[in-house]
Amino acid sequence: MAANPKVFDPVAEGEAAGKVRSEWLLAWYRFRRNKGAIVGGIILAVIATIAVFADVIAPYDLSEYETGMEGFLAPPAAPVTCWAPTTSAATS
């Protein structure tokens, strides 16, 4: 079976030329051939860029907003009980 001449094989080319390729270079060649890895790398780069420049993209302080959860982390309050009668039917 003949090798496809369009497929770049850095290991074979390195061995044929007597060069030793580093593991990082071989990994980079394999990464570049994988389209899913390229798309995932671009998505990660975009997310990292957004995270780095978050203050520029949304220059608002979070403490300026009311979230409606002011008492969310407060300790529980004592239950309110009223032992006194509150209706007129109870007093008669």
Q: How far apart are CA 48 and CA 23, in angstroms?
A: 26
Indicate the average pLDDT of the chain.
Answer: 76
Supply the pLDDT for residue 21. Answer: 79
Supply the pLDDT for residue 85. Answer: 66
* Residue pLDDT, tens place only, 42-75: 999 999 999 999 888 888 776 776 666 666 777 7
DSSP one-letter string for 35-57: HHHHHHHHHHHHHHHHHHTHHHH
* Residue pLDDT, tens place only, 30-50: 999 999 999 999 999 999 999
End-to-end alpha carbon distance in the chain: 106
Mean pLDDT, range 75-84, rounded to an integer: 69
Supply the pLDDT for residue 75. Answer: 72
Can you state the angle between helices 35-52 and 23-33, rounded to 10 degrees? Answer: 100
